[in-house]
Structures are given as structure tokens and as C-alpha cells.
Amino acid sequence: MQATQHTVKKTYYFQGKGLHTGTYSHMKILQAPPDSGITFRRTDLRSRPEIPALAENVSNTARSTTISHRETVAVTIEHLMSALTGLGIDNAIIELDNIEVPILDGSARPYIEAILKDGILDQGIPRRYIDLPKPLEIRDDRRGSWIKIEPAAAPSADITVDFNSKILGIQNVHWDEKTDYAKEIGVCRTFVFFHEIEYLFRNNLIKGGDVDNAIVIVEQPVNEEQLSSISYLFNLPNVKITDEGYLNNIQLHFPDECGRHKMLDLLGDLRLAGGYLNAHITAYKPGHSINTKAAKALRALLK
């Protein structure tokens, strides 16, 4: 990553449904001045209120990361935050005309492809890396997950993803500054287990899910009636289960694409600490809840 601060070279436009609310949004990524960080601006609200993308503004982590300030909300920000982090963008304003960031293809790929065509703008100001005064560990004993953050000369991360799944197995993923984020992490899509889909729909989640933006893992036996129901929900004809245990809506980019997507999420969530960490991160069973708790703990430690 760059030793100086960067922003985007021009304004980028995106539009689409939100994964969880199903609302349709138009979104822009704009330049921002040095030392301003990442800010979300709701253009559909009268005063165009802004929400700094910082851990103290996290208000919900149910299947995605939501930030809010007073009554202003931005939902499912993690893929965009990950893309900005992976591409080395320090400062940007995100304009959003609805409550949720568009899910697009379920990864960071659309942002990456758009921005990399132009490159990024060097702002000539030294990047402010976050240096930890001491190691930090966050645990969630109920979920059996933990994150360790240790001071280091440069950012890196190792995660272990374990859903007790015979399909996924245990997936280990590494990232550091030499990793080609755009090709190896950013293209990896979100995923869901087949048996969770009905529950998520009942609880007003994944309203914007469709066949183009989610890997569906079939962990438990299903019958033809269940397949027909999913076919109807996703508008997917001839839905089948592959020999590997996934719905045939999409093909995997990597055998461990789900683990790599968890790395994508982790990088986006930890960016809420306020910048780039000179730290080595080790995480077991990471998720939005513990990721953002770690970012909050980092912010508190630095204060």
C-alpha cells in the first residue's frame, strides 16, 4: 500500500438493490481532502447529513455492518469499505440516496473494476498509519470467536473460518500488502447456507438477494419442494445442487471463496478503526459483530 494518502481520481456512480432491505439506491464515490477519511452522506434527506465511517457509529451487525448518527443510517457498508481499503484509498465521500448500499454482485469487484481503470489520486500527504501501543484481544465466547491484533511493521491478517460445515470445511486465508487484493480477495462474493434462507426472509433480511450476488451452500438434505421454493424466491429456473454442495446459480472463483469473502469483510470492518493498521491480525471465526467490536476497542485504546 502507498505511504502517502490517496483519494479517487473522479466521481463513480453505482446503483442497485440493497441486500437486506431490498431498497433501490443510487450511490456516488467522490474525492475528499487529505485527513478526512471515509464519510457517508445521505443525499435523500433534507440537510444531507453525514456519518463518519468510524467504529463508534456502528449501530447494527445483523448479517452486515450498519453505521448511524442520530437518525441517519447507512446499511451494508462493509464491501465498499473493504474495496477502498484494499485499493489504498484514504479519503472519500460516499453519497447515498437511500438507506442501504447496493449489493451489486455480492463482492467488492464492481468498485475495484471502476476505480482501477483510472488509478487513484496521490494527495502528497503522508498516510497516518495506526500504531498500537500494545496487543489487543477481543473474544466472543458464545460464538467461540476471537480476534488478536498485535503491533507490527506493516498490515497483515490471517483468519480461520469454521462453520462446522462438511461443505466448506475449515478455510484459512492470509492477506498482507503483497496480496493482490483486486484479484484474490475483492472478487469473492457473499454467501449463505440454504437452510438459513427462509429464516432470513422471515426476519426481513436478504430482501435484495438474488442469483447474482450470493453463493448458496447446501449443507443439509433438501427435497424437491424446497428447491422449488428457492427457485421461486430467486427467480431461478432449473435450480440444482452441484456435486460440491452448492446451488448451481454461480460458479466459485476459488475453492475457498467463502473464506476469502470473510477476509474481505474483516478488512472493511476494521477500517472503521479510522485508518490503516500497522498490526498483524489473527482471527478465528470472524464476523461483523466481533470485527466491529475489535475496531471499537482499537478506537478506545488509541484514545
Looking up cell 462493509 gives: 78
Instruction: Count the alpha carbons within 13 Å of 72 in the hemisphere toward its beta carbon.
Output: 20
Within 10 angstroms of residue 160's Cβ, the number of other Cβ atoms is 16
Q: How far is CA 74 from CA 12, 99, 114, in A?
A: 18, 5, 22
Q: 213 with 105: CB under 8 angstroms?
A: yes
Q: Copy the grid coordinates of residue 142.
A: 458464545
What residue type is assigned to position 9 of the chain?
Answer: K
Long-range contacts of 289-293 (CB under 8 A, 24+ apart): 289/61, 289/140, 289/143, 290/138, 290/140, 290/143, 290/145, 290/146, 290/147, 291/61, 291/65, 291/147, 291/265, 291/266, 292/55, 292/58, 292/61, 292/65, 293/138, 293/140
Distance between CA atoms of residues 48 and 6, nearest Å: 25
What string of DSSP letters covers 49-67? -EEE--GGGEEE-SSS-EE
Give the whole-angstrom CA distance, residue 149 versus residue 136. 5
Distance in angstroms (rounded) separating the CA atoms of residues 74 and 262: 20
Residues 277/151, Cβ–Cβ less than 8 Å: no
> Is 288 one of the catalytic residues?
yes
Selecting among 6, 79, 261, 288, the annotated active-site residue is 288
Distance between CA atoms of 11 and 16, rounded to whole angstroms?
17
Catalytic residues: 288
